[in-house]
Each structure stands twice: as structure tokens, then as C-alpha cells.
Amino acid sequence: MIKGFLYHLGLTLRLNFASKQPLIYGYAVPVFFLIAFGTVFRAGHPPLIHQMSQLITISALGGACFGLPTALVAERERGWWRRYRLLPRALGPLLAGTLLARFVLIASAALLQIGLARMIYGTPPPHFWGHFLAAYAAVAWAFLGLGLLIAALATDVPAVQALGQCIFLPLIMIGGVGVPLLILPDWAQRFASFLPGRYAVDALQAGFTVDGHGATFRLNLLALLAIGLAAGLAGARLFRWDQSPARLGGAAGLWIGIALLPWIAVGLVALRADRWHALAIQVPDPALEITENQMAAISYASLPPDDGTVTPIARPNARLAPAQAARLAVLKSRLETWAPGQVANSAQAIRNLLSVAAIADVQEDPLEGPIARAILEHLFAHFRQDRLERGLAWAALDPAGGSVVRTAPELDLAADLDEGIIRTRSAVYAVKFLGRVRGQINQ
């Protein structure tokens, strides 16, 4: 049985790669969508980072809901499956080989999109590979199950196109796959909760950014697994070995209802739990790209002295006049609620806080050294060490990245200074602070 399964799997792959139609639908169409999306969304930072999940979903949807049933029905029309029926215990291994071959095709198309997006637009590959692989497996499971059901219901290849469009178009237009959910009206976002496309896009997005992690990610996987299981069971039960008319009454209607039941269930759960809203896009954290080798290569030699006139840092518990101590205490308390230091992107928040030390330094504030010390202590207290190290390394290695704060009147630092000098001084402070965080510089 295993030998036959492997032979059928290899044969299916060879036939698909030898035919023009599977190559066009499996690879040319995904590349077309990549170029189309890149033309519209290339201005993002990084480009396409929030559209890759949509592109990969479109690729999987086309390959599974059009490519798979088209191949199955075409083979059935040629009488191949009627001959396969003569084999002992044929259905399970043959269907498994067909599904696995289609998975290889759509997965390779997804990898092609990721590689081309990197080469053409500079889009980073998935950062959270564990999330991405789990999500892609669930997406493929759901859509391949739907493709199997379409093949069972379709009487011929044109019918596959018609049934496939009944799934493809709603998912593209109002299901969050082609048009982002964020720009759709509330009624469309609610309706999309009943469609598998939004769960596929949200799950895959968790591989590229921090959007939709945690409980939301697990719920998306559960929805896709349930949809795929019900559709796959219905498709297997309604599977036809020949071109006999499809059985659409009685038990067939029951299985179709079973296939649709998870769609209804997950939609109702999403509405009841108020999870129908589109995920808010979070700015990707560039500090996550910083590697340990990059941080280890940062040199702490030739830094300005801490007691000098450029980028000074006061010693811990330095004595201050009463008025200065009072002013510093006010600044520390205001830092707790200072909006630029509270942004969701931790690397950007760290860069904003470095800007405060840089502003005090550039305007030669009488408390420039103590303010820098206060910023360092605030960073220690409010950021995990791994996040802090990468955020400081990002500011040191990429002074032109992100944005900087040029004035902070809320902190009694009201001078509006040149952005370039703020970036330069922030980078120096970043190296000084990083050395202390990593134990390379004494406090």
C-alpha cells in the first residue's frame, strides 16, 4: 500500500509539472497577484509586510479550490478513477496521495511568493516561523477539504469553475482575502466572520508580525481545522469514482449541511465574543531583526566620557540641589505616562526615550547628565532585557531608522532641535546604555 501511495504521489506531481494549466494556476497566477499587490502596497514599511498573508491565502485558495477539483474531475472524466476503483482499499491512499501532491504544489507557490517578495520589494520573510508553518498547515487543510467537496459535487470541469467562484469571490471581496478587513464596513466584517478566508489571513499574518498572537491565533487555527475536517469528511463521503450524476438529495444534503456547520458555528462564536472586528495593524518591530552577532560586534571604545560635555551620564544617586532634585522627580513621574514612551512598538518607544536624553544634551540642560541617568533607569524598569538590548542596538546600528522626538514640552524640554543631531546623540546614548545593559560598561 505504501509503495502504491508513493508511486501515485510521484505520478501526480510529474503530471502536474508536465501540464501548462497547473503551472499557470499554481505559479503564474500567484506571481501576478504579488506584482499587483506590490504595485499598490509597496510604500509600506517594510513593503507588503501586512499583505503577504493575503497573497499566500489567495495562492492556497486558488490551488486548493480550483486546481485540486479541476484535476480530480478531469481525471474522473477520463475514466481514471473508475479504473482505480478496481484496486483493493484504493480510496484512502489515492486521495491522500492526491491531496499531498496538491499541498506540495501550493506550498511551493507560497515559498515562491515569499522569495520573490524578498527579492523584488525587500519584504522580510516570516519572522515567527513556528506560527507561520502551523498557520499554513491549517489553511491548506481547510482549503483542500473544500476542494475535495467541490470535486465531489461538480459534474464536469466547467462546474468546478462555477462552484469554485461561489467560494473564491465572496472571500476575495468581503472575506478579508482580497480587500483588507480594516477598510470594509462593519456589516462586511461581521459577515466575514462566517467565512474561512479571514481566519486564514489572520493566522498567516501571525507569522510575519505580532498581530493576532496568543488566544486569537489558537482560535483561528481551530476554526480552520474544523472547517477543513467537516468539508473533507463530506467530500470523502460524496466522492464519485465515475461520471454518474451527483447525489444531491437525502444523505448528500445532510453531508453538505455538515460541511457548512463549522462556518456558521465559528461565525456565531466570533459575533458573540465580539471578535468580528478586523485586527488592528501593529507596526512591525525592526529590533527583532537584530542578531546576537550584530550586538556582540558593537564597540564601546572611543565613547565620549560620561562626565564630558557630549552625551554625559550622571553617576547613580548623584547629589543635586533641592530645586534640581524636585525638577528631576517631576520629569521621572511624567515619563510614566509620556505617550511617545508608551507606543506599542517597543523599539520605537526606546528610541523616543533616547531622544529625551539627546534633547537635554543638545540644549545643554543643567540636568543633562541626571536626565540621561533617569532615562537609563526608566528603560531598565519598563522593558524586558532582550527587548531592551535589541531596541538599543537598533538605535545604535541604524541611527536613521524609525522616528525621533525633537521636542518634549511635556517633560520641560521645549526646544525644537535639528533631527539630525538628535539622531546622532541618540545613537551614542544607545551604545552607552547598551554597554551597561550587557555588562560591558560599569554603571
d(CA 373, CA 317): 9
d(CA 300, CA 151): 65
Please answer whether residues 181 and 192 qualify as being in contact, where contact means their C-beta atoms are separated by less than 8 angstroms.
yes
Full-model pTM: 0.66
Average pLDDT over every residue of 271-281: 77
How confident is residue 8, by pLDDT bands cut at 50, 70 and 90? low
Average pLDDT over every residue of 181-188: 86
Backbone dihedral region for residue 305 (phi beyond 0: left; psi -120 to 50: alpha; all else: beta): beta
52-111: pLDDT as tens digits: 999 999 999 988 888 888 888 887 888 777 777 766 666 667 777 788 888 988 999 999
100-120: pLDDT as tens digits: 888 988 999 999 999 999 999
How confident is residue 142, by pLDDT bands cut at 50, 70 and 90? very high
147-171: pLDDT as tens digits: 999 988 888 888 888 888 888 888 8
Q: Is the pLDDT of residue 236 over 90?
A: no
For residue 166, the model assigns a pLDDT of: 87
Separation in Å, CA 47 to CA 110, 241, 284, 372: 17, 47, 11, 35
Q: What backbone torsions phi and psi does residue 48 show, to the nearest 5 degrees? A: 65, 10
Q: Is the pLDDT of residue 6 over 80?
A: no
332-348: pLDDT as tens digits: 999 999 999 988 788 99
For residue 376, the model assigns a pLDDT of: 94
Q: Is the pLDDT of residue 249 over 60?
A: no
For residue 107, the model assigns a pLDDT of: 92
Q: Which of 56-65, 95-104, 126-135, 262-271 has the lowest mean pLDDT?
A: 95-104
346-404: pLDDT as tens digits: 899 999 999 999 999 999 999 999 999 999 999 999 998 988 999 999 999 999 988 89
Looking at every residue in the chain, the average pLDDT score rounds to 86
How confident is residue 1, by pLDDT bands cut at 50, 70 and 90? low
d(CA 73, CA 155): 8
How confident is residue 406, by pLDDT bands cut at 50, 70 and 90? very high
For residue 314, the model assigns a pLDDT of: 92
